[in-house]
Structure 1
Amino acid sequence: MVCGGFTCTKNSLCALNIVYVLVSLLLIGVAAWGKWFGLVSSIRVVAVVIGVGTFLFLVAFVGLCGALKHHQVLLFFYMIILFLVFVLQFSVSCACLALNKDQQNHLLEVGWNKSEVTQHDIEKTLNCCGFSSFSNSTVCAASCFNESASSCKTCSNTIQQYAGEVLRFVGGIGLFFSFTEVLGVWLAYRYRNIKDPRSNPGAFL
């Protein structure tokens, strides 16, 4: 059957949602792996990543069930949720790509001050102390602090070296997946309005 027909649209929608399921399981697995091996000690960060992965899994599951059963209600809610996710993700991705260095530094400092556990993780991983300054009386998890505090660098200098690249990478990945969400909305809309050739000739569903 030519692409654009009932079977082709159904298969395309199923394939897209299977990809979403795999991505969601990858997010959950990476978060659990990072917590298990002690790479990330912040429960909040792990919970957020697992929450995003679980939400994506549920949305993909709804879309997959709607595609397999040609269920009008499931496909409708799938379209609405996926469109809202697209708007949010597209906005965040554009913001990541548009941030200048001063804005990046401000956001990094706000995030730094919100969680001592995150500070501990960053200091231990990047071998640095404090965000923009520190003293000998500061509690620091970096190995350089135990050897010689004067040899430690501030974490802001180290983080800013990679912040721009990370934001561009995250923004680019977000934009890519946002366009796949537009594709998902379009496929779901088209699929809802195609008659199942296996149904009765006079029936729409």
Structure 2
Amino acid sequence: MACIGFSCSKNCLCALNILYVMVSLLMIGIAAWGKWFGLVSSFRVVGGVIGVGVFLFFVALVGLIGALRHHQVLLFFYMIVLFIVFVVQFSVSCASLAITETQQEELLEVGWNNSVNTQRDVEKSLDCCGFSAVNYSGVCGAACFPNHTCDFCKAKIQKHAGEVLQFVGGVGLFFSFTEILGVWLTYRYRNQKDPRANPSAFL
């Protein structure tokens, strides 16, 4: 049955924003957990994930308050921000799913060269050294390094990066459709009158 009533629209919008709050707290928690246990040493990566989580939390909070109070201004700004997030997330998700191996390799090499901490994390977790060549006169945190039996990391990173890009692209695409659903619900809900309010009052 279609969600056409005031209460139904309100409840659906509240449920959607509660889902976003849970996702944002999960992102913040996972990033903090990874940093705390030393799984990720790059502060920029952790800070980026936490920043996205905090942004999503505040957007969801604005949507939740606007839905509970039927606040026209909050709902308007929530709708605009959610639509912008949808456009960005949909574009990034499509790019993640459509990226070629050559483009992926170029991006990985740029990312590898820009962060020493990320290099050390990858070398330690994937047991490899260097991006496209192993330099045994340098420094590497991999277990294979003292034995001089390491492979370079490019092939291993590409394999994992391809899987991650497919997963992130698919999840991002799914959530982008929930965002456009949120925009539609917000638009409908803003234009509905509260049956408990004074019928002669303006929205």
Q: Given the two structures, how large is their TM-score scaled by the length of structure 2?
A: 0.98
Identity of aligned residues (%): 71
SS in 2 for 1:30: helix
Gaps of 5+ in 1: none
Distance 1:164 1:142 in 2: 22
Partner of 2:98: 98
Partner of 2:137: 137
Large movers: runs of 4+ above 2 Å: none
Which 10-residue stretch deviates more, 104-113 or 159-168? 159-168
Q: CA RMSD in A?
A: 1.2
Matched, 1:119 2:119: yes
Q: Trace 1:4-83 onto structure 2 (pairs within 5 A).
A: 4-83=4-83
Distance 1:73 1:136 in 2: 61
Distance 1:9 1:17 in 2: 12
Which 10-residue stretch deviates more, 156-165 or 38-47? 156-165
Instruction: Give aligned pairs, total.
Output: 203
Distance 1:164 1:2 in 2: 39
Gaps of 5+ in 2: none
CA contact (8 A) 2:83 2:183 kept: yes
Distance 1:165 1:48 in 2: 21
Partner of 2:164: 166
Q: Report deviation, 1:2.
A: 7.4
CA contact (8 A) 2:134 2:150 kept: no
Q: Report deviation, 1:139.
A: 0.9
